[in-house]
Structure 1
């Protein structure tokens, strides 16, 4: 005769406790269902793609592209369904070999920062030099013509009344080409062309890693923006962005400020076209 509970009596209690420990994906899915939200609702609220939401809820983190992105998506989805992300992140780290050690960002991107950029010909400087040469030639010609009878002919060609007086200025004021001046603008993208998409990324509230590609998938920038730094990208069709810490970033698209409420530490993948900003 045994005293107390038999092993058979204790087994259901252990099973209940084991069932109560949900996986990360199942916990997020159950919280979403309890909140009465669909996957589309979560995607619209977080900008995390539908396919990635489905994969995470099935405990498949491969589509996230790595542990850093997976942790960012878990944090974002947990906040959207009103869960504390800390226990889920700890469970994810325990199941995937621990939290990855942070990589020093400055040495990684120092070469990118100091690498001289390839620049095209400086057409503005060439134009200014050409204008200076023309002005000098016209002035020299007018000055030489003022000492002989050819002065009157020179003045007629320049559009003024013929005069034989030598007291007049040898260089007509109306013929001096004006040096082209650029109108100041409030920002680098205030006059963004309508036939292109222009995106300005500013690290207003901290530093963040960013990546930018054009419509052909060509990498425009992959590096770290320190607080106060900014980058401007332009393409004929679209710009694809990845923000490592979206909460620290302020975006201007085609001259307009993007008012999305990005969360600190959240990883965001964004695409903007010539028609943006637009809803959705």
Structure 2
């Protein structure tokens, strides 16, 4: 028996060169497919048009309208398919010339290179400046004198006021505002029992949401801002898509959903008249 490296230790290293790495568009496409999402799903979750998603996955960034917009689309699509956008942005900059270098600032005191000719003193300007200074001084002195007189009068008036009356009444303490509570189960349970009721609120941040009934009719499709809530009702089923599930709190048929949604995660959910179940 020989002692040494095993055949596995002598295998050549894998090629991790720049040429072997997938392109930006290819990496986004592979991550989308691995996440089980279609181009329509990603477009709906990110609000990026379908044509632009197809172009980016084909490494065609011309429809983006410039490098700034292209970087923004790459970050948005990467988060939607749960991919780190940092390496993709670096690869995009490397392949497209990087960020433009800032324009150097002009040297300070550049105007001193050209020295104006020496001229004689401008006596007219000096005379005008002296007159303005005198007028300003006189006005300032008169204003200060008037203020001193008013201060003296106010002190005399305050001294003549009896001390018993001068005491200001004790201000009433404002009652603390009652804390805002989350929607109670009883308020949601007041909905008809023969229907499914879903309340979506955003206490932790904002999130794009989409809601459809059992016929596929769109009930809502837009951005739910922080602190806002929406209630949807149908005879049998509510279909939801949450763009940032970590910012959303759900109440279904009077019950609070305790699912541990992650920030930035895209979730597709279905709820019926029975016990809340994720579809």
**In which range does the TM-score fall when normalised by the shorter chain?**
0.3 to 0.5
TM-score (norm 1): 0.42
Bigger Rg over Cα: 2
